[in-house]
């Protein structure tokens, strides 16, 4: 389709972008389990160069997807000692700042954590609050859900946790 015709049909909707992100980390002994910046009591934690906050990483990649800005592996390489044990909420805040530098605003974010254990619902409100604060968006625009995988797959075998996230961005006028 002709670009001018496309823009006239879409009008202000051409300002919208969606982003999608996913991440996986394996469980390991002697590591903390950090999800959305919350230190969750569990007998194992997630392995990674940073604090391995799989949910914060999935959301950061969704935001970067929305601005076609690569991924967090490109922005914060796991070979860089600066990011060893890094607080992933700070990485997420840096990504949100990059979104705004590119002229976009974060309208809405939703996410899913797939984990057989531990039970995450007691931590959901704090996770949402932490993530919303890191991105400087209202908490009602940050969705977090958790699901088991009915003992199927690596999450179900408790070998690791995965997270996916979607976001809607709007290019500011
Ligand atoms: Mg990761």
- 78 pLDDT more than 90: no
Dist. CA 64 → ligand 1 center (Å): 14
**Contacts of residue 98, Cβ cutoff 8 Å, sequence gap at least 6:** 63, 64, 67, 69, 75
Distance 60 CA to ligand 1 centre (A): 10
By C-alpha distance, which of 34, 92, 103 is closest to 63?
92
* Long-range pairs, 9-16, Cβ under 8 A, ≥24: 15/170, 15/171, 15/172, 15/173, 16/107, 16/168, 16/169, 16/170, 16/171
Q: What is the pLDDT confidence band of residue 84, given thresholds at 50, 70 and 90?
A: confident
Question: Does residue 109 have a pLDDT over 90?
Answer: yes
d(CA 83, ligand 1 centre) in Å? 12
pTM: 0.96
Asked if residue 165 has pLDDT above 90, the reply is yes
User: Radius of gyration (Cα) for the chain, nearest Å?
Assistant: 17
Residue 80 confidence (pLDDT) above 90? no
DSSP state of 168: E
Decide if 45 contacts 27 (C-beta within 8 A): yes
What is the reported pLDDT for 9?
93
Residue bearing the bigger pLDDT, 74 or 128: 128
Q: What is the mean pLDDT of residues 34-45?
A: 98
Task: Kindly tell me if the per-residue pLDDT of 85 is higher than 90.
Answer: no
């Amino acid at each position: 389709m002709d670009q001018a015709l496309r823009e006239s049909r879409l009008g202000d909707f051409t300002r919208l972008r969606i982003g999608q992100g996913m991440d996986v980390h394996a469980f390991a002994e002697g590591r903390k389990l950090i999800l959305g910046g919350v230190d969750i009591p569990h007998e194992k934690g997630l392995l990674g160069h940073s604090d391995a906050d799989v949910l914060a990483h999935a959301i950061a990649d969704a935001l970067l997807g929305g601005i076609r800005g690569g991924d967090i592996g490109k922005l914060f390489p796991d070979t860089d000692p600066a990011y060893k044990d890094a607080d992933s909420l700070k990485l997420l805040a840096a990504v949100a700042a990059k979104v705004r530098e590119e002229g976009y605003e974060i309208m809405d974010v939703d996410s899913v954590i797939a984990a057989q254990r531990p039970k995450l619902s007691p931590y959901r409100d704090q996770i949402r609050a932490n993530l919303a604060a890191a991105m400087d968006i209202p908490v009602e625009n940050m969705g977090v859900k958790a699901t088991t995988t009915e003992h199927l797959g690596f999450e179900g075998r408790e070998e690791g946790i995965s997270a996916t996230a979607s976001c809607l961005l709007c290019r500011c006028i």
